[in-house]
Amino acid sequence: MLAGGVLCGRYTAYAVRDMRGDGQSQYYGYVAFASYAIAMATHLATVEDHVFDQVLGEHAQTVEDVVIANELVGETSLNTVTERLADLFQVSKGDVIKVLGVSRTKVSRNPTMDVEILDRAGSALKLYARLSAMVGPDSAARWLGKTNKHLGGRRPIDLISTHLGGERVDELVTALEDGAFL
């Protein structure tokens, strides 16, 4: 007897259970949304690589690998990265400077990238890519710059300048990916 199924998580499968008379359930099949999952994962990777290339001049995986190795790669000019992020996110350079965790003095006196700035830029780009893969680049940029009641009336772009704020925004994006209408 078919008892029902469970849809769990992003890009996962639908589990069908067979309830036996003894109260135990047995999974006897998965009607996988494999093609959907693969298509979404592929689309996200494509969007991610595009925005990383556009802003930093390198693919996402390359940036991740070198940041983990505490090295630098890609665009070395902090001014260029700041301008490209501001254009992509459709926010001010001041907003981007906060996201990158640098002072205006650093931007004007020593405008070169370092590993910490590259890490912050990569995190912001990964978040943007997730949004852009779901709703498109213009809507993703609008969402980042608009106040959100689920974030206490704050803009997501303001929260991603801190680790804990970034986690809160990440949780909200995950909820959207999972189908929540927020």
pLDDT in tens, 82-105: 999 999 999 999 999 999 999 988
* Mean pLDDT, rounded, of the chain: 85
CB 40 within 8 A of CB 28: no
Number of domains in the chain: 2
**CB-CB neighbours of 142 under 10 Å:** 14
- Same domain? For 9 and 53 the reply is no
pLDDT band at 107; cut points 50, 70, 90 = confident
Indicate if 111 and 135 belong to the same structural domain: yes
d(CA 155, CA 149): 9
3-state secondary structure of 67: helix
Q: Which residues pair with 27 in a beta bridge?
A: 17
Separation CA 91–CA 48 (nearest Å): 19
Query: Do 10 and 99 belong to one domain?
Result: no
Q: Which two three-digit tokens encode residue 88?
A: 């992509």
pLDDT confidence bin for 40, thresholds 50/70/90: confident
Question: Are 98 and 15 within one domain?
Answer: no
Answer yes or no: do 71 and 26 share one domain: no
Judged against a pLDDT cut of 60, whether residue 147 lies above it is answered with: yes
Q: Which domain does 24 fall in, by range? A: 1-32
Task: Write down the pLDDT at residue 17.
Answer: 46
Backbone angles phi, psi at 4, to 5 degrees: 140, -175
Percent of the chain scored above 70 by pLDDT?
79
Kind and range of the H or E run holding 25: strand 25-31
Specify the pLDDT at position 34.
Answer: 60
